[in-house]
Structure 1
Amino acid sequence: MNIRRFFLPLLFALPVAGCSSLLNVQRQPFTIYSPNLDAAATPAAGPRVDWQLAVETPLASDVLDSARIAVMPTPGVLEVFPAARWRDPAPALLRSLVVQGFENSGRIVGVGSAASGLRADYALSIGLHDFQLELRAGTPHAVVRFQAQVRDYTSNRVLATRAFAEDAPAAGTDAGNAFAAFEVALNKIIPELVDWTLREGEAAHTKAPGA
């Protein structure tokens, strides 16, 4: 009985000591990067459509589904910048920029995230394959690759599919230069995605019964 009385206080004290040591650990500061979509980077001029679009959060691997900025120093090897973050996890970041791209175009009646409650006619889904800085023979490139689908929102039927890819060289291998290259890549690929989606959605809408 005396042995039990001696050890029980120690057992309860261990978790508290552990928490205390964790609370005293100083967090390493990091920089948050928030890409901007240039309002001038709009898709090719075209007719305004009278349907609404829900943009779904892109699907991505666990590595890319993160606010950490990924780097591929050699093919097949992914690392992250230790002191840099995106403002949101990459899929959510891409979704918000895509929505902004449609808004900037001025060519659609209504657009928003799938969770916004929008009464959409069509949905845009994206499978995000690459969103990292790649080093090739020592030269850094910001790479964005994804597969996009336009679907009928009610039936979930796929209406069109296309692969998109953009590769922008970076001036250096640090996080700041990587961020600048990503902005260039995103300002090229998103207007292409917007224009393609509007064309495919309008083609389907024109063929729909009662259109």
Structure 2
Amino acid sequence: MSISFHRLIPLIITLLLSACSLFPETRPVNVYMLPESTPVQTQSSSVDWSLRINTPYANQTLDSTRIAVIPDGNQINSYKSARWNDRVPVLLRERLIDTFRSDGRIKTITNDNGLINTDAELISELRAFQSEYIHGKPEVRVQLDTHLVQRNNQQVLASYRFEARQASKDASVASVVQAFGQATDQLSREVVAWAINVRKYNGDKHD
């Protein structure tokens, strides 16, 4: 017995709708920029040397656009449907550059994409850039191992581990992102003060 095409149409529509329901709905992704840094006010005189800031090395987990979170113990996850607008090491490199330039004492600041020959070089490794839950509340932690290197002879002038922590106002991603901005501001200012003092101690000019 043949079945008319018109009778098949409702069955076909039902099958198509059932097939579509098998695939999960894609959630929109919110892309976050690191909040703008607070301008640095300095009264100190400028120094006669230039600095290149390299992109920090980071492991596979941190070298991404994911916003990392440690909800409990040693398990690291990322916030769902939320991303940074660039890779984390690049975000931190640009924050360091902004802070050095805002400070104004070093007149020539460049990154590892530039061809300018500089007197010194900041090499670093990003060890932490995540939100961690402490007593049930999110707290941002940023940790950076740094090395200030004299470029003409590759001498390491000094090495130091910086760490900044900033509690988030609440558990929302937007509040956590604001805490990231405050923590990176604090860390960047400490790096600037350290680098200038190291060069001052070793002598601003090296032949």
The question of a shared fold, defined as TM-score above 0.5 by the shorter chain, is answered with yes
CA contact (8 A) 1:37 1:100 kept: no
1:187 is aligned to 185
* 2:141 aligned with 1:143: yes
Structure 1 residues 207 and 171, CA gap change in structure 2 (3 angstroms): same
Residue 47 of structure 1 and its aligned partner are, at CA, apart by 2.8
- Between the two proteins, the alignment pairs up a number of residues equal to 186
CA contact (8 A) 1:43 1:191 kept: no
- Tell me, what secondary structure is at the counterpart of 2:176? helix
CA contact (8 A) 2:67 2:78 kept: yes
- Tell me, what secondary structure is at the counterpart of 2:200? helix
Determine which structure has more spread, i.e. the larger CA radius of gyration.
2
Q: Distance in 1 between matches of 2:102 and 2:46?
A: 12
Query: Following superposition of structure 1 onto structure 2, how do residues 164-175 of structure 1 map, counting pairs within 5 Å?
Result: 164-175=162-173
1:6 is aligned to none
CA contact (8 A) 2:49 2:205 kept: no
Structure 1 residues 106 and 171, CA gap change in structure 2 (3 angstroms): same
Q: Which amino acid aligns with 1:30?
A: V
CA contact (8 A) 1:37 1:186 kept: no
Q: Distance in 1 between matches of 2:36 and 2:193?
A: 15
Residue 202 of structure 1 and its aligned partner are, at CA, apart by 3.1
Q: Distance in 2 between matches of 1:161 and 1:99?
A: 19
Residue 201 of structure 1 and its aligned partner are, at CA, apart by 2.2
Higher helix share: 1
- Tell me, what secondary structure is at the counterpart of 1:168? strand
1:36 is aligned to 35
CA contact (8 A) 2:120 2:150 kept: yes
Residue 26 of structure 1 and its aligned partner are, at CA, apart by 6.9
CA-to-partner distance for each residue in 1:62-92, whole Å, 9 max, x for gaps? 0000010000011211000121111111101
Aligned residues with identical type, % of pairs: 26
The normalised TM-score by structure 1 is 0.81
Residue 110 of structure 1 and its aligned partner are, at CA, apart by 0.3
Q: Distance in 2 between matches of 1:26 and 1:95?
A: 36
Residue 206 of structure 1 and its aligned partner are, at CA, apart by 3.5
Query: Following superposition of structure 1 onto structure 2, how do residues 10-49 of structure 1 map, counting pairs within 5 Å?
Result: 27-40=26-39, 42=40, 45-49=43-47
RMSD: 2.0
The normalised TM-score by structure 2 is 0.83
1:91 is aligned to 89
Q: Distance in 2 between matches of 1:195 and 1:70?
A: 28
Q: Distance in 2 between matches of 1:76 and 1:169?
A: 19
Structure 1 segments unaligned to the other structure (5+ residues): 1-23
Structure 1 residues 174 and 154, CA gap change in structure 2 (3 angstroms): same
| Structure 1 runs of 4+ with >6 Å offset | none
Q: Which amino acid aligns with 2:206?
A: A
Q: Distance in 2 between matches of 1:208 and 1:98?
A: 24
Residue 45 of structure 1 and its aligned partner are, at CA, apart by 4.0
Structure 2 segments unaligned to the other structure (5+ residues): 1-22
Residue 44 of structure 1 and its aligned partner are, at CA, apart by 5.3
CA contact (8 A) 1:57 1:114 kept: yes
